[in-house]
Amino acid sequence: MSMTDKISSAEIMGALRSRLSKISETIDQQEASVVTEVGDGIAHISGLRTAMAGELLEFTSSANGRSVYGLAQNLDQDEVGAVLFGDVDSIKEGDECRTTGRVMDIPVGHAMLGRVVNPLGQPIDGLGAIDTNHRRPIEFKAPGIMARQPVCEPVQTGLMAIDAMVPIGRGQRELIIGDRKTGKTAIAIDTIVNQKDTDVICIYVAIGQKASTVAGIKETLARRGVLQKTIIVAATAADSAPMQYIAPMAGAAIGEYFMYNDANGNPADENHPGGHVLVVYDDLSKQAVAYRQMSLTLHRPPGREAYPGDIFYLHSRLLERACKLSDKNGGGSLTALPIIETQEGDVSAYIPTNVISITDGQIYLQSNLFFQGQRPAVDVGISVSRVGGAAQLKAMKQVAGTLRLDLASYREKQAFAQFGSDLDATTQYQLNHGAHMMELLKQKRYAALDVSDQVIAIFAAKEDFLDDIDLENVTLFRDQLAKYMQERHPKLREEIRDHKIDDDMSERLKTHIKHFKEEFLKAHPNKVAEADVAQTAEDNESAVADTEKETGQE
């Protein structure tokens, strides 16, 4: 061997150092233990001293070798209490449990649009697997004040009673509250349907509902053409309490993906705007009951109405995730519509008062109004939007400014009028005007009105064009007026959408509405007017007869 073939020790050391520097292997530490007790979707594991609150735990079933995941909840001195997800019945006493070192996350992405998933992000609609490349934690810290901007854009529901008096803005949290079967879900579904031609992605979270009800909602959204921009997260009544507990957080996590990322799935910034999302939590009362069941099974101390002490914190950290991000962060938004069911209209119960204090306003649905045929049954007395006119078009803010006061005055006069028959002309006018305004606010399911048509209808009512129309024809007048303006005056409708109503627009509106009203009354003459004509003729005949009689006597 020649001298040139010899390898020096320095070269060997250099080659070894080069190879070693490229090794990036790390030691993965996991603590393992065994399940000591399991039941009702709750597992108790001995030891696990390094487990963290909210950490994902991996259980291995001795029966079939499959993995089941759980969430660490109670961190006691000698054991950890965890809630189980998935095939919970396969986990038995003595099965192995390991820490994972990560929080619970779920798959998210555009591929979920049009699908029905469970709170773990797994498809349950029988349409095959969902191909997603992103994951998000179900619990995520809400953005701070500096990362947000004030709510300034409206989310149009298509329902005049809401868009005019309790407007919802992008990034707002507006509570829908009322007794069972008063139309809470109907308002939420109508709002989703009304987003068909907008850039808002919708997420409907069904908590503790029958699977048949969820299937019916899916079919409705498909028929209305909005399913392809909607994701349904379903934790049905047949699912365990832990699944119902995480369902709203899973819905928020899926929504945050669209808010924090642009259309291509890249992080949003000033040049890449984030998306706009509407999330409906239907309903948080059932989530609270599921959390109470979980907590009592975990032997946590019960508080008011047997709910755990941190139930307020559970809902507040969920709803705080709804926001309107600053332009620097992409300007995306997450709008939350939580639903709460009351018992006999009791809004002073524990969960209703909690969520009312967390949200930016509430739409209160009253049973009495519902049974009287006022649909949507919005009680304008205690319904409020704390964002208000900032989430309205200028023209809507202008015409709807005194609408709430007008209706409140009508309610007061209506109650007073029951006790007296002699009413002065002003009171009679207010009662008649108020009755027509209430009739104007009635809308059928899936009969959304464009915001410009809402403005025109309210303008017509404020200018007393409706007061001499038969009550049963008011909604027909409103709908046909909208059609008339769409067909004959589309330019004026667009002006109303973009600008405040000035004197010129006001005069043009009055002229067009007056012309339409003349045509409408020809096709639908007032019964009151016919009766008045008949009565006048009868009175004239009677007067003539009396005159002839008196003349004959003379």
Backbone angles phi, psi at 138, to 5 degrees: -70, -30
Q: Is 386 designated active site?
A: yes
Tallying the residues shown for the chain, one arrives at 554
- Surface-to-core class of residue 205, CB atoms within 10 Å of its CB (0-12 exposed, 13-18 middle, 19+ buried): buried
- 59 token code pair: 């259980």
Name, in order, each residue with C-beta under 8 angstroms of 217's C-beta and a sequence gap of 6 or more: 185, 189, 204, 206, 232
Residue 120 DSSP symbol: T
Please give the Cα distance from 360 to 337 (Å, whole number): 10
C-beta of residue 299 within 8 angstroms of C-beta of residue 356: no
Q: Which pairs from 463-469 meet CB under 8 Å and 24+ separation?
A: 463/510, 463/513, 464/433, 465/513, 465/514, 465/517, 466/436, 466/437, 466/440, 467/429, 467/432, 467/433, 467/436, 468/526, 468/528, 468/529, 469/436, 469/517, 469/520, 469/521, 469/526
Q: Within 441-502, where are the H helices?
A: 451-462, 474-488, 490-498
Please give the Cα distance from 452 to 486 (Å, whole number): 10
Per the DSSP assignment, residues forming a β-bridge with 378 are 365
Residue 237 DSSP symbol: T
- 442 token code pair: 């009635």
- 28 token code pair: 């993965």
Catalytic residue among 300, 386, 404, 493: 386
Name, in order, each residue with C-beta under 8 angstroms of 172's C-beta and a sequence gap of 6 or more: 151, 155, 322, 335, 336, 360, 361, 385, 387, 391
Please give the Cα distance from 384 to 175 (Å, whole number): 10
Q: Is the peptide bond before 197 cis (omega within 30 degrees of 0)?
A: no
Helix (H) or strand (E) holding 97: strand 96-103
- 358 token code pair: 């967390």
Residue 169 DSSP symbol: B
Any idea which residues carry the catalytic annotation? 386
